[in-house]
Amino acid sequence: KLHDIKAGTPVGGGILLIVLVCLLFAALFPISQRMGVFIQTAYKLKEELFIIFFTFISFGILGGVDDLIKTFGKPTRGVLGLAFGLTRKQKFILQWILGIIIGYLIYINLGVHILYIPLFGKLLDLGFWYVPFAAFVIVSFTNAFNITDGLDGLACGLLMICLIVFIVISAGMLDTPLSMFIALWLGALIAYLYFNVWPARLFLGDGGALAFGAMLAVVGLLTGKIIAVVIVGGIFVIEIASSAIQIIGRKLF
C-alpha cells in the first residue's frame, strides 16, 4: 500500500545528486590545489580520483538505464512476480562486471591487496583474490542499499551516519581527495533528505541507489576499513540477507 501511495513520485533524485557532487568535486578540487591547499593521499592521486568518478558515474548510469526502462518499458515476469526495468539477472551480471573492473583498478593501480581483520588484529594478504573480494563487497552493498532505499529517508539517513564515520577515518589517514568527496556527498545528502523524508517528494531511483551503495563499498575499500562499513551499516547487511533468504525460499518452496 505504501508503494501505491508513492506512485508518481519523481525518481531522478539520485542522478541529480551524482551530477551535482561530481561537478562540485571536479571544480573545487583543482581550485583547492591552486589556492595552496596541501593535497595528501597514500595512493596515486589521478588513479584514486579516476576510481572515485568511475564508480559513482558507472553505477549511476546502470541504475539510470534501469529507471528509464522501468518508466517506458514493458513489465517482465520475475521471481517475485511482475518486474519492471532490467531483469534481476541482467543487473546482477552488469554489477559484477563493474565490480570486477573497480576491484582490478584498486588492486593494480593503487596496489591494495591487504584486508585488515580488527577482531583478531590480523592482516590478510589476498593477493589477486582481492579483485573478486572487492567485487563481491561492491555488488553486495549496491543491492543492500537499493533494497533499503524502499523506505522514505532510511537508506540516506543510514548512509549519512556511515559517511560521517568515514570522513573521520579518511581525514585521519590524510586522504584529502576522499575526505573532500565524502564532505560534498554529505552536503548533497543533507539537502536531498529534506525532500525524501515522509512523505517523500523525490526518490533516488536505481540511478542513485546503485551508485551510492557501490560508492560506500569503495570508500570502505579505499580506507581499508570495509569491516567498519559492515558494522556501521548493519541495517544494509540485514536487508540484503533478508532479501536473499526470501528469494531462495520462493525458489525452493
pLDDT in tens, 149-206: 765 557 788 889 999 999 999 999 889 999 999 999 999 998 887 776 666 567 788 8
* Per-residue pLDDT at 240: 72
Q: Does 22 score more than 90 pLDDT?
A: yes
pLDDT mean over 88-112: 94
pLDDT for residue 60: 95
pTM (2 decimals)?
A: 0.86
Residue 7, pLDDT > 90, answer no
User: What pLDDT sits at residue 219?
Assistant: 95
Nearest of 106, 114, 99, 65 to residue 85 by alpha carbon: 65
CB pairs under 8 A, 24+ apart, for 241-250? 243/143, 243/147, 246/80, 247/79, 247/80, 250/79, 250/80
Amino acid (one-letter) located at 197: V
Confidence at 14, pLDDT banded by 50, 70, 90: confident
Integer Cα distance of 184 and 180 in angstroms: 6
Cβ-based neighbours of 31, under 8 Å, separated by 6 or more: none
Reply yes or no on whether the pLDDT at 79 is more than 60. no
Q: How confident is the model at residue 81 (pLDDT cuts 50, 70, 90)?
A: very low
Are the C-beta atoms of residues 233 and 158 closer than 8 Å to each other? yes
The residue whose grid cell reads 585521519 is: 172
In angstroms, the Cα distances linking 137 to 24, 124, 226 are 27, 16, 8
Confidence class of residue 250 from pLDDT cuts 50, 70 and 90?
Answer: low
Strand blocks (E) in the chain: 76-78, 81-83, 114-117, 122-125
With cut-offs at 50, 70 and 90, classify the pLDDT of residue 248. Answer: low
Q: What is the DSSP letter of 225?
A: -
Question: pLDDT tens, 132-155?
Answer: 999 999 999 999 888 887 655 577
Interatomic CA distance for residues 171 and 38, integer angstroms: 13
Coil, helix or strand at residue 48 = helix
* Every domain of the chain and the residues it spans: 9-34+46-252
